[in-house]
Structure formats: structure tokens, C-alpha cells
Amino acid sequence: MLVFGYFLDDIPKAYKGVAYNIHKLTGLTIFVLMILRAFWAWINPKPKLPATDPSWQRLGARIVHLLLYVVVIAMPLAGWIGSSAAGKPPRMGDVQLQLPITQSKALTEVAFDMHYMLAITIIVLVSLHALAAFYHYFIEKDNILQRMLP
Ligand code: HEM
């Protein structure tokens, strides 16, 4: 979605409408899945990080994990608000998935500025998250990465 979203504007005119709609519907699917996932994570607390890890690392991990949920929920929401405020909501056949908000150029601009800034925030957070996982695997040589397996 990050790469596809970035190149949306470069898609040939004939396919643009379809491409934007695919982006919007995929984003809405991610939104619904993330809400379910957040609920799942809330009722199924995951194992704690090893007590031997420095407390700043454990705190950092908790903050990054929490922020990942927040931004991946906020991202599609910003896109949905922006598209609805622009009067171009996602479409499923003849059904328009329009949010109950009035059309506004100012709101469209704010929402898509947020959409852009959230994209950069997601890239930064995912990079930190992946670097930390590799640090555990290659340098600490603990089982943080493998314990995600069943
Ligand atoms: C996890 C979900 C999503 C991700 C990761 C994502 C990612 C992106 C990215 C990286 C861009 C390019 C930003 C830019 O260059 O300004 C973009 C553009 C766009 N996205 Fe999303 N998006 C998501 C969900 C949605 C949803 C749900 C909608 C609408 C219902 C939406 C509507 C749009 C539109 C209309 C643009 C073009 C904005 C413009 O041309 O200024 N996105 N998206």
C-alpha cells in the first residue's frame, strides 16, 4: 500500500479511477483487520520481553508496538476522511462508502497531509521495529524473533 499509494498519481489516466478505488478498498480492508487485530491483541496479551533486556529497550518496544497500531489504524482513516470530504469515497459497485461528513476542500487537504505524514511515520516505525528484531536475532542471539512461530 505504501509503494502503490506513492505511485498512484503516475498510473495512466485510463486506469486511474480503478487504481484509486483498489487502493481505497484495500485500505478499508486493512482498517477493519487492524480493528479486529487490536481487539485480539487486547484479549490475548503476548509474552513479556526477557527481564534481562535493559528497561529502556522494553519501554521502547512497547511504545513502537503501540504506535504501530495507532498509525496503521489512523492511516486508512485519514484516507477515508479525505476521500469522503472530497466527494470521492471508495466504491463497491454502485455502493458509495461515504462517511457522514460534509464535502470540504480544507478538510480534504488536512486529511491528505496527514495521510502523507503517516506514511513517513509508518516507514520510520517499521524500520525501527525490523532493526530491533534483527538486533535480537544477530547480536543478542535470543529467541525474540523465533518465538513468534507457533
Ligand atoms: C493502510 C492503509 C493505507 C496506506 C498504507 C496508504 C498509503 C498511501 C500512500 C503512501 C499514498 C501517497 C501519499 C502521497 O504521495 O501524498 C497514498 C495516497 C492516497 N491514498 Fe492511501 N493508503 C491507505 C489507505 C487509504 C484509504 C482507506 C483511502 C481512501 C478511502 C486512501 C486514499 C488515498 C488517496 C485518494 C491518495 C492520493 C492522495 C493525493 O493524491 O494527494 N488511502 N496512500
Cα distance between residue 87 and residue 98, in whole Å: 8
Structure confidence by residue, pLDDT tens digits, 62-90 = 999 999 999 999 999 999 999 999 999 99
Distance, CA 84 to ligand 1 centroid (Å)?
Answer: 13
Residue 51 clears pLDDT 90, i.e. is over it? no
Helix 55-85 vs helix 105-134: crossing angle, to nearest 10: 150
The CB of 80 under 6 Å from ligand 1? The reply is: yes
Spell out the domain ranges in the chain. Answer: 2-43+54-148
E strand or H helix at 96: strand 95-96
Distance, CA 76 to ligand 1 centroid (Å)?
Answer: 7
Is-contact 64 129, C-beta < 8 A?
yes
* Grid cell of 4 as nine digits: 502503490
Structure confidence by residue, pLDDT tens digits, 97-107 = 999 999 999 99
The CB of 90 under 6 Å from ligand 1? The reply is: yes
Share above pLDDT 90 across residues of the chain, in percent, rounded to a whole number? 86
Structure confidence by residue, pLDDT tens digits, 6-45 = 999 999 999 999 999 999 999 999 999 999 999 999 999 8
Distance, CA 115 to ligand 1 centroid (Å)?
Answer: 6
* pTM greater than 0.85 (yes/no): yes
